[in-house]
Structure 1
Amino acid sequence: MLRKISLLITLSFLFLIGSAKAQEINGYWYNDVKDAKIEIFKATDGKYYGKIVWLKEPNRDGQPKVDKFNSNSKLKTRPIMGLHILSGFKKSGSTYEDGTIYDPKNGKSYSCKITPDGNDKLNIRGYVGISLLGRTTVWTRTTK
């Protein structure tokens, strides 16, 4: 009987380790329409950030895409490639919270919460004010 209990505890522990690992958000992700690839990483401050590392259409009229919709005129000429769009996320249980997401398609930043859905999907919830007033998109894990 003791052997069965020991085996059950060991298997439960291994399952928990596997579940925790499955919820890591570090890595490369396609956005919902697969026109951009974002690298998410944990910085030295312990928070998670994400930057655009690939664009399906990186150039417009032979020139790199720039942040033309940004409300700050000084930032309108910065390139989209390499732009940090996820900032300041803290892990809280199985979610990542207290961060922001920047949408270069409209030049706006939103509060954001990231919830892993298994190992290959992220539910990205951008909102203004409270989470109920927002929109969720699903990002898919990819390779470098």
Structure 2
Amino acid sequence: MLFPVAARAAEPVLGRWVTQNQKAVVQIEPCGAAMCGRIVKLLPKSDVGKTMDERNSDAKLRTRPLVGLPIFLNMKEDDHEWRGRLYDPQYGNTYSSVISRNADGTLRVKGCFFIICKTQTWHPAS
């Protein structure tokens, strides 16, 4: 006998998150039909004196302030995850990304360049 399987929606990723390296707080919120995230605060462990997007590969964007900088771009729900693009101001590069909630309430952030991926765990900001 077959039973219908309920679609499993992505766990909410909305909110404020402290990056794994404790350099910034990122706010994730809806932007149209997707989710987007931006830096809302630099923390004491951030690169001292670095307040602009000076490592951006596009020289025209290097004067953007880090606070307010979009880093999660066009994250769309895909089963139990959110997929889109991740901009990393530490290296000035954009990667494909997958984010999801862990059972303990933390956020799993995965960024990939071709087949090389790196995963971090972010904690809710208090």
**TM category, shorter:** 0.7 to 0.9
Give TM-score, length-normalised by structure 2.
0.84
Which one has the bigger helix percentage? 1
Identity %: 29
C-alpha displacement of 1:86: 0.4
8 Å Cα contact 1:121/1:138 also seen in 2: yes
Question: Partners of 1:111 and 1:49 in 2: how far apart?
Answer: 14
User: What are the superposed Cα offsets for residues 9-34 of structure 1, whole Å, 9 maximum, x if unpaired?
Assistant: xxxxxxx9xx969x210110000022
- Aligned to 2:110, which of 120, 125, 129? 125
1:139 is aligned to 2:122: yes
The aligned residue for residue 29 of structure 1 is: 17
Consecutive unaligned residues of structure 2, counting only runs of 5 or more, are 1-5
Q: Which has the larger radius of gyration?
A: 1
> Equivalent residue for 1:55?
42
Quick one: which amino acid aligns to residue 116 of structure 1? R
Q: How does 1:1-144 map to 2 (within 5 A)?
A: 23-44=11-32, 46-57=33-44, 60=49, 65-97=51-83, 99-118=84-103, 120-130=105-115, 133-143=116-126
TM-score (structure 1 length as normaliser): 0.74
> Which of the pair has the greater relative contact order for Cα pairs under 8 Å at 6+ separation?
2
Q: What letter is aligned with 1:128? A: F
User: Which contiguous aligned blocks of 4+ residues in structure 1 show a shift greater than 3 angstroms?
Assistant: none
Number of equivalences: 118
Letter in 2 for 1:141: P
Q: Which amino acid aligns with 1:135?
A: K
